[in-house]
Structure 1
Amino acid sequence: MTSETTLRYDSPATAWTDALPLGNGRIGTMVFGGVARERLQVNDDTCWSGAPRARSAPDGPAALAAARDALDRDDVREAERQVQRLQGGFVQAYQPLVDLWLDQPDATADGYSRWLRLDEAVAGQSWSGGTQEAFVSRPAGVLVVHRTWSAGPGALDVRITSEHPLDGAAGEHGRWSATLRLPSDAPPDYVAGTRLARDPRPGTSLTAAVALEVRTDGVVTAGPDGPRLRDATWVTLVLASATDYVDATTPPHGDAYLLRATAAASVAAAAAREVSSLRDEHVADHARLFDRVTLDLGTSDTAGTPTDQRLAGPPDPGLAALAFHYGRYLMIAGSRPGTLPLTLQGIWNEAVRPPWSSNYTININTQMNYWPVLSANLAECHEPLVRWMGELAVAGSRTATELYGLRGWTAHHNSDAWAFAEPVGDGASDPAWSFWPLGGAWLARHLVDQHDFTGEALSARDRAVLVGAARFVLDWLVELPDGSLGTRPATSPENSFIAPDGAPAALSTSTTADLAIVRDLLENVLRLDGTDAEEITSALARLPGERVTADGRLAEWRDDVPEAEPEHRHQSHLFRVHPGTSVDPDQEPALARAALATLDARGPESTGWSLAWRLNLRARLRDAAGAQAMVDAFLRPVDEHAHGGGVYRNLFCAHPPFQIDGNFGLTAGVVELLLQSHRTVDGVRELQLLPTLPPAWPSGSVRGLRARGGVTVDLTWDEGVLVAARLVADRDVPVLLRAGGTTERVHLRAGEAWSLTR
């Protein structure tokens, strides 16, 4: 691999957002790279506050009817009060596990450098007196840290600390283990007057165990917080974790002895092997996924420059390629079959009350996490989201029945490891971010994409999830006075307008986002399944389409109302542009022009993840210059105290604070600039090659992208023109290849390469 897959720095991390992330889907680790004092902050993806809970539904149908009646009377404040009766509390929070500290007081950091090799998933550092490498092995299920020093035998103290009380910490002969009890409740940090709760009763919270083993050529003794080394020249540390999380509905068993034994067995098996063997196995496992895709955007004069210095410099195509690969790397490190889905912070979080609980925010952010997973050739990493959706659908079916008296299943803005599906809030929370029953309908889009990209039939479970989401929206629709169908109450996620009383309000009737998501879901269920075909066909015929305002924008609200925040970070009303597939300059040219005008009116600045969202939208609208501006804005440096979007020194997306969805959105957007396959013409899939090539990327190549229909695509271009393409299909399939104003129909044969050279 080239240097464009390596992050480089010439000093240790001073802030958490300077540290370098490692992960195997379950164990996440932030490596700070210190010499005299090193910190490795460790997460386990199953460490959440809380436990499964019984939910008591209010009189939802009555509150819903009262809210609809209030909106009929244009009494938005009464509608808000009625909707707030539906609120069911708050989701739980993703939790940190432990910190691993290495104290070597005599070490100095002369000649220091550190790096993260994305192609190997190894974080390293070197200094005049030694070296260190760290990785988190998927096959072995452990964190491995290997440190050497060349100034002669020395001392090293190893400590383990936690934000949670450590119980039963014990160690001997280089082995150490402990258990910890996670909070029974961790309210969001934005809810004033609340605090962590720790309920000692069984079944109220999760228990975690950590085990550590030390291998060294020195002498190991037991210290108060962990092992101590003397007369050593090298050390290998192996750490494993275990929790009693099973799934969203199974109460934790709390058997600390079993958990400690499980973690200790993983550590012992790994520690018995040579570190080189563990490393080789880990790199091979990672490379099996990472090496599927390469991207070359041209040679850069700054390729060997520290990454933070490159961020401070002029726009750099090589840096864009590095950020693209970084998103792929984070997906492999953070989402593997059998794990939980990526949170707002992926699997990396140091706070017990993290921003927005580090939860699953399903009005865009969780979905954006997985936008690149299929197009960037990492389909296996989609499994955690799809599997968790099945659990959410079970919980959401209870919510649909008990809260609304409707069929199917629903979920709202936020969820967690326990599949929270109700509206969040304390009974007085703003409906703008608490009431929106179409989270499940948006998530269902991922099942559609899974089918379209892989060509594989939906499983029985996934079909049930898809159909269940459709049945809920069919029941949610109401007949409006003009005979059309609509949604009421409706919101446009997290946005608001100015009500007649002069204050912001969020509740309305038939927002554009609602109708776009409903239409997309129903059309795809009709295409892929056929269940309830007559009912769906009838509903689709009565759904209004998008509306263009007098100033040429795509309307967000049913009526022309004053905007409370014209440059708002959400643009959910452009859903059918992306991630939907129905609005682009070919299929709906008038709506595409209005969507582009909407983006222009939103302005050039926003949060980091919103910039990535807008990149995908501009890519679909074939606005190459606008897309380039989004890439450049996304890759501007910010620090932990910043107020504008960009990236931190370690390339984590800054909302601010850190949100990982922007990293994945950037990767997905780069793919959309180079390859699009969302359109069909007379039932044949169209592959658009280099549809929105940015002007700053005149020459380059990409290998291994995936198009819908199960096609792997390699492209080479020069001076902005496609010069070569290679396509390999998983199965026999006809496609339309569109590039440079020409279209060619090609019948691809399963497993046979088809090439184009110009």
Structure 2
Amino acid sequence: MNRIKIIASCLLLSTSIFQGIAQQKLKLQYDKPAANWNEALPLGNGRLGAMVFGNPQKEELQLNEETVWAGEPGNNVPKNVFSNIEEIRKLIFEGKNKEAQDLANNTFPRQAPKDLNYGMPYQTVGSLWIEFPGHANYSDYKRDLDIEKAVSSVSYKVNGVTYKRELLTSFSDDIILVKLTADKKKSISFTLSATSPQVMSNFRTQENKLFFEGTSGSVDNKTGKLKYVGEAACTLKGGSLTVEADKLTIKGADEVIIRIAIATNFKNYKDLSANPIEKAAAVLAKASKKNYAESFQSHVTAYQKYFNRVSLYLGDSPQSNKTTDVRIKEFANSYDPQLVALYFQFGRYLLISSSQPGNQPANLQGIWNHKLNPAWDSKYTVNINTEMNYWPAEITNLSEMHQPLFSMLKDLAETGKESASEMYHARGWNMHHNTDLWRMTGVVDGGFYGLWPMGGAWLTQHLWQHYLYTGDCKFLKEYYPVLKGAAQFYLDVLQEEPEHKWLVVAPSMSPENTYEKSVGVSAGTTMDNQLVFDTFNNIVNASKILEIDRPFVDSVSVALKRLPPMQIGQYSQLQEWLHDWDKPNDHHRHISHLYGLFPSGQISPFRTPQLVEAAKNTLISRGDVSTGWSMGWKVNWWARLLDGNRAFKLIKDQLSPAPTEIKGESGGTYPNLLDAHPPFQIDGNFGCTAGITEMLLQSYDGAIYLLPALPDDFKSGKVTGLKARGGFEVAVEWENGKVKQLTIKSTLGGNCRLRLSSGVKLNGDVKLDEAKGENSNSFYKVETIKEPLIAEKASLKGFKSPDTQLYDFNTTAGKVYVFKAK
């Protein structure tokens, strides 16, 4: 595709065309209230989050607002560390690894120094309580979360009266809505109150409203300055409302609608000058002008604009009639394809609910957190977790959900200039393995865990991938400075290692892993090399598309040629480090050097079989069961290795009941379908949703590969609305593991190359020609990697890729193409 066609195509918007596949019941359902937070059901509209417990006598709505973080504006970049960083480099290149790690630990201690901090925790607002006198003894209990509508319901009987609750976090009105009804008039009586673990909090009533106010916590050397205000107002049909000092009491109503607004003083990461009282009041006043039916319908319409783009059918089973917690317990030994489809769509639901355009990105727990000091502070951990949150965004047709991450990258490209300049004396911007609401970019958790200057390299891959999926040149031009700043940093910090004269990042580490006891600091780790390779290629390609910045890109191209090749070590494994230090008994949760297999596309079964075999050997050696997010990543790796049964085995491992322990690395799924590390981390949900997609469709290796890793359990099925690079929207139906019908909408035009299993023949609107050479569609350009270095002791047996065929057909933007099996 030439540049004129690319620019023209950028003006076209992607719209979903595949409707009509019958969806299975997409509900999480239970026959008892939540006994704890991991059984409560999550509602969210991107900004507001609520966990619904469903207790008949005393309902708890645990509340979150996305900007309620401890602390105040400010970065965490240390001063006067450059000379130590240079000394650490010198020690590494001299082979004095322990000394280098000791100096790193002394320079960046495990506990934050008094003048610095290691990031602020994301915090809860508190809980709203709806207490119903006399509802302790109930029957016919039902509780559910309908992810087709983003609505939770509770129903039960007390003394012959059926009570119902309907709860949602409105996408259209930006409030939390609760509707309380009964099938007998004058039956609804309750008190409405609030609590919060925040030290600085206050509860009061005014003008028939309940107010809950507070200030976030102070941590390390940062004072809590985030102020929030919540307002809850009740609209009654019949009955009476009594106002007390810190609660509202309703008696004898036929129906009650509770509207809850929450606002903070946050304007942006460096400005807390907003008025939360005025913001909350304005939102509540506007929302109150609608009746409940209007609010409900506008909410569902706004949500389904995103959710309804994709449908998935994998088969039927009687298991779907059971409660969700029971299905999770029985999944390993029961045929329940609907639970896989539900789990897939639940991941999409969570992304829509925790990452709306104009808001903050989904953090380590999305937006759902009931603590002041959650695990790992519920920050943005960018050595895997934040990136994994957004793996489903493009492929499951939720590009807009990516926007909050892109917005944060603009902020980090500013705050990251301080860490790049102060710590490394480099141009551009960088960050390490964590950030927070205040966009910190310095080292977190000390020199043992945090001396990893690669966060910007990984996060900016999402910018380039968004362009590849959407063809949006305006977007590419807007974010080019962010891409360039990341490339500038690595161009300045790359060091010549003494043995091969390769250019490498030093000091760094392979995330959270060690090659000697308590030693991880190193130079030229495989993941770093892969990340720099992608970062440099992205800026080179973006420069060509936009026809700008040629002198800078020439410098990048020179450095690109001097990056190390990937290496296969003595155990026939893909080496994790520059030297062959891998341990055959290493079962570490991070397998970061397989980034080149996924999410990157540097390793391919059809182009680099030796590296594929080495990656497979590494995966087998590391084992399957691990933390939830690690197993989510492994689903994607096995899908890229074209082993659908092994990928599905990892899904079974993940869809096992999470242990009751609050710490560990056993993974699993809680009764509410949320992922366990343990404890809860949301990335495993997103990783598995992406992995299921990769089993059905891949578009990274010069072609759209249909059903590349279909497990035996999914013999027949259909999926609609998935996205492939180059702006293609795909629906495929299969039978006995073979494509039966294929529908492709081209939003950008250009050549469409399909990879089909050998023996599959399709007839359609246009003729499929046997493909020759590289794909002419520029969105499918494959970067050439260096030949791997292979250790003498390695014993490769050969990796045989499946027999496939490649076909091309030319597309016109906006047209739909339908093919059926012969």
Same fold (TM over 0.5): yes
Residue of structure 2 in register with 1:479 after alignment: 496
Q: Is the 8 A contact 2:392 2:686 kept in 1?
A: yes
Residue of structure 1 in register with 2:5 after alignment: none
Unaligned runs of 5+ in 1: 188-196, 681-685
Work out which of the residue numbers 34, 42, 45 in structure 2 matches 1:24.
Answer: 45
Is residue 336 of structure 1 aligned with residue 336 of structure 2? no
**SS in structure 1 of the partner of residue 596 of structure 2:** coil
Work out which of the residue numbers 594, 597, 607 in structure 2 matches 1:587.
Answer: 607
- 1:20-71 CA-to-partner distances (Å, cap 9, x unmatched) read 1001100000001111111010100011111112656321220111111222
Displacement of 1:2: 3.8
**SS in structure 2 of the partner of residue 282 of structure 1:** helix
Distance 2:108 2:266 in 1: 29
Counting only pairs closer than 5 Å after superposition, residues 399-438 of structure 1 correspond to structure 2 as 399-425=419-445, 429=446, 431-438=447-454
Residue of structure 2 in register with 1:506 after alignment: 520
Q: Is the 8 A contact 2:628 2:675 kept in 1?
A: yes
Residue of structure 2 in register with 1:147 after alignment: 180
Unaligned runs of 5+ in 2: 1-21, 110-115, 758-803
Residue of structure 2 in register with 1:190 after alignment: none
Displacement of 1:718: 0.5
**Kindly tell me: are residues 64 and 724 of structure 1, through their superposed partners in 2, closer, same or farther at Cα, counting changes over 3 Å?**
same
Residue of structure 2 in register with 1:488 after alignment: 506
How does the TM-score come out when normalised to structure 1?
A: 0.93
Residue of structure 1 in register with 2:719 after alignment: 702
Residue of structure 2 in register with 1:733 after alignment: 750
**SS in structure 1 of the partner of residue 235 of structure 2:** strand
Q: Is the 8 A contact 1:17 1:640 kept in 2?
A: no
Displacement of 1:610: 0.5
Counting only pairs closer than 5 Å after superposition, residues 137-536 of structure 1 correspond to structure 2 as 137-150=170-183, 152-165=186-199, 169-185=203-219, 199=223, 205-216=225-236, 217-250=238-271, 252-253=272-273, 258-313=275-330, 314-315=333-334, 316-425=336-445, 429=446, 431-457=447-473, 458-481=475-498, 482-498=500-516, 503-530=517-544, 531=549, 532-536=552-556
Distance 2:312 2:202 in 1: 49
- 1:329-361 CA-to-partner distances (Å, cap 9, x unmatched) read 001111101110000000000000000000000
Distance 2:465 2:129 in 1: 43
- 1:643-673 CA-to-partner distances (Å, cap 9, x unmatched) read 4111000000001000001101111111111
Residue of structure 1 in register with 2:128 after alignment: 100
Q: Is the 8 A contact 1:4 1:321 kept in 2?
A: no
Displacement of 1:249: 2.0
Displacement of 1:154: 4.3
Distance 1:282 1:611 in 2: 34
**Kindly tell me: are residues 268 and 564 of structure 1, through their superposed partners in 2, closer, same or farther at Cα, counting changes over 3 Å?**
farther
Displacement of 1:244: 1.0
Distance 1:16 1:477 in 2: 46
**SS in structure 2 of the partner of residue 504 of structure 1:** coil
What is the letter of the counterpart of residue 49 of structure 2? G
Work out which of the residue numbers 582, 595, 611 in structure 1 matches 2:631.
Answer: 611
Is residue 623 of structure 1 aligned with residue 636 of structure 2? no
Q: Which runs of 4+ in 1 moved over 6 A?
A: none
Displacement of 1:272: 3.4
Displacement of 1:83: 2.5
**Kindly tell me: are residues 610 and 570 of structure 1, through their superposed partners in 2, closer, same or farther at Cα, counting changes over 3 Å?**
same
Displacement of 1:268: 2.5
Displacement of 1:449: 0.4
Work out which of the residue numbers 739, 742, 751 in structure 1 matches 2:814.
Answer: 751
Displacement of 1:153: 2.7
Displacement of 1:707: 0.3
Residue of structure 1 in register with 2:597 after alignment: 577
**SS in structure 2 of the partner of residue 475 of structure 1:** helix
Distance 1:451 1:49 in 2: 35
What is the letter of the counterpart of residue 282 of structure 1? H
Residue of structure 1 in register with 2:768 after alignment: none
**SS in structure 2 of the partner of residue 750 of structure 1:** coil
Residue of structure 2 in register with 1:194 after alignment: none
Distance 1:369 1:495 in 2: 22
Q: Is the 8 A contact 2:306 2:398 kept in 1?
A: yes
Q: Is the 8 A contact 1:504 1:564 kept in 2?
A: no
Displacement of 1:559: 1.7
**Kindly tell me: are residues 512 and 198 of structure 1, through their superposed partners in 2, closer, same or farther at Cα, counting changes over 3 Å?**
closer
**SS in structure 2 of the partner of residue 647 of structure 1:** coil
Q: Is the 8 A contact 1:176 1:212 kept in 2?
A: yes
Q: Is the 8 A contact 2:317 2:338 kept in 1?
A: yes
Residue of structure 2 in register with 1:110 after alignment: 139
What is the letter of the counterpart of residue 377 of structure 2? S
What is the letter of the counterpart of residue 809 of structure 2? V
**SS in structure 2 of the partner of residue 302 of structure 1:** helix
Distance 1:715 1:597 in 2: 32
Distance 1:691 1:167 in 2: 54
Distance 1:476 1:271 in 2: 56
**Kindly tell me: are residues 464 and 56 of structure 1, through their superposed partners in 2, closer, same or farther at Cα, counting changes over 3 Å?**
closer
Displacement of 1:618: 1.0
Is residue 666 of structure 1 aligned with residue 692 of structure 2? no
Displacement of 1:245: 1.1
Distance 1:400 1:54 in 2: 13
Work out which of the residue numbers 665, 672, 676 in structure 2 matches 1:650.
Answer: 672
Displacement of 1:165: 4.5
Displacement of 1:524: 1.9
- 1:95-150 CA-to-partner distances (Å, cap 9, x unmatched) read 10120101002123300011100010000011123110100012111000111123
- 1:414-446 CA-to-partner distances (Å, cap 9, x unmatched) read 100111101113xxx3x3421100010010100
Distance 2:138 2:750 in 1: 58
Displacement of 1:4: 4.0
Displacement of 1:464: 0.6
Give the stretch that moved more between structures: 536-545 or 644-653. 536-545
Distance 2:351 2:743 in 1: 26
Displacement of 1:166: 6.0
Is residue 711 of structure 1 aligned with residue 718 of structure 2? no
Residue of structure 2 in register with 1:193 after alignment: none
Distance 2:199 2:563 in 1: 55
Is residue 676 of structure 1 aligned with residue 705 of structure 2? no
Residue of structure 2 in register with 1:543 after alignment: 563
Displacement of 1:167: 5.2
Q: Is the 8 A contact 2:576 2:582 kept in 1?
A: no
**SS in structure 2 of the partner of residue 575 of structure 1:** helix
- 1:458-496 CA-to-partner distances (Å, cap 9, x unmatched) read 344410111111111111211122221112222000111
Distance 2:324 2:467 in 1: 38
Displacement of 1:639: 4.1
What is the letter of the counterpart of residue 179 of structure 1? E
Q: Is the 8 A contact 2:75 2:442 kept in 1?
A: no
Q: Is the 8 A contact 1:93 1:354 kept in 2?
A: yes
How does the TM-score come out when normalised to structure 2?
A: 0.86
- 1:302-328 CA-to-partner distances (Å, cap 9, x unmatched) read 112101111111252211110000000
What is the letter of the counterpart of residue 164 of structure 1? Q
Residue of structure 1 in register with 2:16 after alignment: none
Residue of structure 2 in register with 1:683 after alignment: none
Is residue 601 of structure 1 aligned with residue 621 of structure 2? yes
Q: Is the 8 A contact 1:645 1:655 kept in 2?
A: yes
Q: Percent identity?
A: 34
Displacement of 1:405: 0.4
Residue of structure 2 in register with 1:555 after alignment: 575
Work out which of the residue numbers 90, 110, 131 in structure 1 matches 2:164.
Answer: 131
**SS in structure 1 of the partner of residue 611 of structure 2:** helix
- 1:256-294 CA-to-partner distances (Å, cap 9, x unmatched) read xx3213212212222332111111110111111100000
Q: Is the 8 A contact 1:213 1:268 kept in 2?
A: no
What is the letter of the counterpart of residue 196 of structure 2? S
CA RMSD of aligned residues (A): 1.7
Distance 1:353 1:750 in 2: 50
What is the letter of the counterpart of residue 542 of structure 2? L
Residue of structure 2 in register with 1:191 after alignment: none
